[in-house]
């Protein structure tokens, strides 16, 4: 499971001209689910995100988590995060989970993260053509892969 986490002052997802999800301060999370992912990946990644201290404290230091600031999360499914670009110029997405596996895991991820941060996650629509708007605060962008736990 791979996530691109952006600290935002605001973010939204629009589908066919209608806003599907919208937040103020918090995280925009682009989430890619791999065929080999399990509930263990969801638990590890949501815990890591909920505890990540990247929000400024009173001294301006990145010492606070999303729960400390009562922030929100907007989660957008993005299978292209598992693109393999090793050969040729056309990416291969063979490692990305098929929709019948990925969609329930995406929903489980949002539920688990919402429980940890105590605010339901906002979202796009799985598999839809989406326009994502954000104001990246910092900018702070972090990439986490549950298969490469650094």
Active site residue 80: yes
Active site residue 78: yes
Cβ 79 vs Cβ 93: under 8 Å: yes
Active site residue 27: no
For residue 42, CA distances in Å to 32, 56, 96, 108, 111 come to 11, 26, 15, 8, 10
Active-site residue (options: 27, 55, 79, 109): 79
Give the chain's length.
150
Active-site residue (options: 39, 80, 93, 131): 80
| CA nearest neighbour of 118 among 150, 76, 70 | 70
CA–CA distance, 4 with 109 (Å, rounded to integer): 14
Active-site residue (options: 6, 27, 55, 78): 78
**Residue with tokens 């972090």, as numbered in its chain:** 142
Which DSSP symbol is given to 36? T
Residues tagged active-site: 78-80
């Amino acid at each position: 499971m791979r996530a691109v986490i952006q600290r935002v002052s605001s973010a939204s997802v629009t589908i066919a001209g209608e806003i599907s999800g919208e937040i103020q301060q918090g995280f925009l999370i682009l989430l890619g689910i791999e065929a080999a992912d399990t509930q263990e990946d969801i638990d590890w990644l949501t815990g890591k995100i909920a505890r990540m201290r990247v929000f400024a404290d009173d001294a301006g230091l990145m010492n606070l988590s999303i729960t400390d600031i009562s922030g929100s999360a907007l989660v957008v499914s993005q299978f292209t995060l598992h693109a393999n670009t090793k050969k040729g110029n056309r990416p291969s997405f063979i490692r990305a989970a098929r929709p019948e596996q990925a969609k329930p895991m995406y929903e489980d991820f949002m539920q688990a993260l919402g429980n940890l941060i105590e605010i339901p996650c906002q979202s796009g629509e799985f598999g839809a053509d989406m326009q994502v708007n954000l104001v990246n605060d910092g900018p702070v962008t972090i990439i986490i892969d549950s298969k490469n736990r650094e």
